[in-house]
Amino acid sequence: MTQATVSKKLTQDADTVTMFYRVGMSQPASHLFEVTLQVANWQQDVLELKMPVWTPGSYLVREYARHVQDFTAQDSNARQSLKSNKVGKNHWKIFTGNSETITVKYRVFANDLTVRTNHLDRTHGYFNGAALFMFIPGLQQQPITVAILPPSTDWQISTTLNPVEGKPNTFVAADFDTLVDTPVEVGIQQVYDFEALGKPHQYVVWGEGNLKPEQLIQDTQKVIEVEAKIFGGLPYDKYLFLLHLSGSGYGGLEHKDCCTLNYPRLGFRDRDKYNRFMQLVAHEFFHLWNVKRIRPKALETFDYEQENYTTSLWFCEGATSYYDILIPLRAGIYNRKQFLKNLSKDLTRYLTIPGRNVQPLGESSFDAWIKLYRREANSDNNQISYYLKGQWVSLLLDLIIREKHHNQKSLDDVMRLLWHRYGKDEIGFTPEDLKQTIAEVAETDLTDFFYRYLNTTEEIPFDKYFAPFGLKVKSIKESEPVPYFGAKIQSENGKEVIKFVEVDSPAAIAGIDPGDEVLAIDGIRVTAQNISDRLKDYKENDTIVVSIFHQDELITVNATLAQPKPSGYEVVQIKNLSDTQKHNLSGWLG
């Protein structure tokens, strides 16, 4: 090797490096994407490649590299194999020799139909950038070209990546962040174009179901208009809704100019199920402002190799969850009665999770990476979702602002101010920036409020905040009370299995564990379906003998039943509202 060559290998002009991906799927039924990366103008002896371990919007290390197989590297003309080593769980090194153009090939197994993973079968291919593509450390800001090779001419490609003129099925991403933020749907699709506020929008639907496109488009247009009104317009040129109709899936993932939605294929005829879907649409669309542009400083620059911690997910997801039930009301998709019904469902969920008394909201946000997406049998005992409690804290902040300013200001003003300060220029906010902005709009010292409801597990006094708006919380009690036992049972393969035992409950004190198989109470067989009726034969303080299989050992334990608990909670209107309460309520809910 000459001295000139050595010098050349010691430096790398990043601007000259080009990256070109080809994504094939020649045998869709194999669930294997065939990925080829060509790196040109490389000037170093070693080329390093890394794969993300998570994707923005879903705060869990998913280890996408575990689906990579058949990794190889070759020189310029694919004539000679290049030595490569895997040096970390998501890290490869390729020894390039004298090659300035390196071709890397690998395959990715894709049989996980969620909004944050990849799925390939005989009818379509769907992929997220983080779960399919590798990056060159230090070159994440370089543009990346991607060519997609469908296995059949009747497979369409849908993405918001910019097409390359004159090259069919070829697209370019401005940088790796853009590639990660832009999912791709390839396959047999139903495509519905529509306009909202003068801009083009599109639904791309994969799968069969009872969806009514006309109604969906009309209601989506209403959602878009209501949300755009909050922020003063739409921050994109076009927007794409990717909708997967599946057997029983549910979820959404936000992106800057698109979102992916997964919903049960037959979930559109029943009105409650349809309303739930429109909440999902409202939620993911709201994220194009709150999260994708208005986001914590800790998430301003993504580190794709490890957890990115923030205590502000309570607002990112919680405020968005509050708006996802409010937006369909404002859009006229459902009325105030349905809004309060949806609110009551969420209140019941919240007040029946013991973990709300264990985990503070700020900690819930910080620990998302190790708790929220890694649920186990004890999760409800020791954690609370930042979506759920964050929704309630956001709602209370809205009520505080509205009462203070007689409905002339609201949480909408907070969102607008955050948008102008942090979202438009994407500079990121700190937890203190967020609190300060909310307090500035409220014109109220919220230090104590934030301390209580972000940093402690103090119970939220809902009625205190609801009362000025003519509402209160009402507990639902069974006409025939059921003494409290504290275990949830589910039928599985002919067995009655304990799925959850509430901490300090009669079942927990008796030593019953999740995974135990329940056989009988006082010698009479019980099932998941009839245990509530069976318990109605007893009253508070009665002791029952429960027969179970505990780790395959037949044992009996004594459990002393406790006072019946409410079966749910409702947010209801107070009788004989004052004029002020009427004004406040109508100003809030129309």
Whether residues 386 and 448 fall in one domain: yes
- What's the rounded Cα separation, in Å, for the pair 419 and 413? 10
Planar angle of CA 146, 148, 151, nearest 5 degrees: 165
- What's the rounded Cα separation, in Å, for the pair 409 and 566? 36
- What's the rounded Cα separation, in Å, for the pair 371 and 443? 35
Nearest CA among 145, 144, 281, 306 for reference residue 224 = 281
Segments of the chain with pLDDT less than 70: 1-13, 77-79
**Long-range pairs of 442-450 with CB within 8 A, sequence gap ≥ 24:** 442/397, 442/400, 442/401, 442/404, 442/409, 443/404, 443/405, 444/400, 444/401, 444/404, 446/397, 446/400, 449/396, 449/397, 449/400
What is the CATH number for 452?
A: 1.10.390.10
Whether residues 167 and 33 fall in one domain: yes
- What's the rounded Cα separation, in Å, for the pair 125 and 110? 9
Q: Is residue 586 part of a domain?
A: no
Q: Are 569 and 349 in contact (CB under 8 A)?
A: no
Domain termination site, one of 133, 167, 188: 188
The tally of domains found in the chain comes to 4
Q: Is residue 435 part of a domain?
A: yes
**pLDDT for the residue numbered 5:** 40
pTM for the full model? 0.95
Phi, psi of 164 (to 5 degrees): -90, 120
Domain termination site, one of 254, 282, 310: 282
Phi, psi of 317 (to 5 degrees): -100, -35
The one-letter code for the residue type at 129 is G
DSSP state, 248?
Answer: S
Provide DSSP, 367-384.
GGGTTTTS--TTHHHH--
Whether residues 262 and 333 fall in one domain: no
Write the CB contacts of 540 (distance below 8 Å, at least 6 apart in sequence): 483, 484, 561, 562, 563, 564
**pLDDT for the residue numbered 15:** 78
Q: Is residue 575 part of a domain?
A: no
Whether residues 439 and 296 fall in one domain: yes
Whether residues 207 and 298 fall in one domain: no
Whether residues 262 and 297 fall in one domain: no
- Tell me the pLDDT tens digit for each residue of 235-264: 999 999 999 999 999 999 999 999 999 999
| Residues paired with 239 in a beta bridge | 201
Q: Is residue 572 part of a domain?
A: no
Q: How many CA atoms lie within 13 A of 360 on its CB side?
A: 13
Whether residues 458 and 318 fall in one domain: yes
Q: Is residue 576 part of a domain?
A: no
- What's the rounded Cα separation, in Å, for the pair 370 and 384? 13
Q: Which helix (H) or strand (E) holds 72?
A: strand 68-74
Whether residues 196 and 131 fall in one domain: no
Q: Is residue 583 part of a domain?
A: no
Whether residues 519 and 371 fall in one domain: no
Whether residues 443 and 553 fall in one domain: no
The one-letter code for the residue type at 178 is T
Write the CB contacts of 301 (distance below 8 Å, at least 6 apart in sequence): none
- What's the rounded Cα separation, in Å, for the pair 30 and 32? 5
Phi, psi of 69 (to 5 degrees): -145, 165
Domain termination site, one of 136, 156, 188: 188
The one-letter code for the residue type at 432 is E
Tell me the C-alpha to C-alpha distance, in Å, between residue 174 and each of 141, 249, 499. 8, 32, 47
Write the CB contacts of 246 (distance below 8 Å, at least 6 apart in sequence): 113, 207, 262, 263, 264, 265
**pLDDT for the residue numbered 277:** 98
What is the CATH number for 492?
A: 2.30.42.10
Whether residues 462 and 507 fall in one domain: no
- What's the rounded Cα separation, in Å, for the pair 516 and 511? 10
- Domain of residue 48, residue span: 3-188
Burial of 423 (0-12, 13-18, 19+ CB in 10 A): buried
Whether residues 93 and 69 fall in one domain: yes
**pLDDT for the residue numbered 224:** 98
Q: Is residue 513 part of a domain?
A: yes
What is the CATH number for 140?
A: 2.60.40.3650
Q: Is residue 214 part of a domain?
A: yes
| Residues paired with 38 in a beta bridge | 20, 103
The one-letter code for the residue type at 271 is R
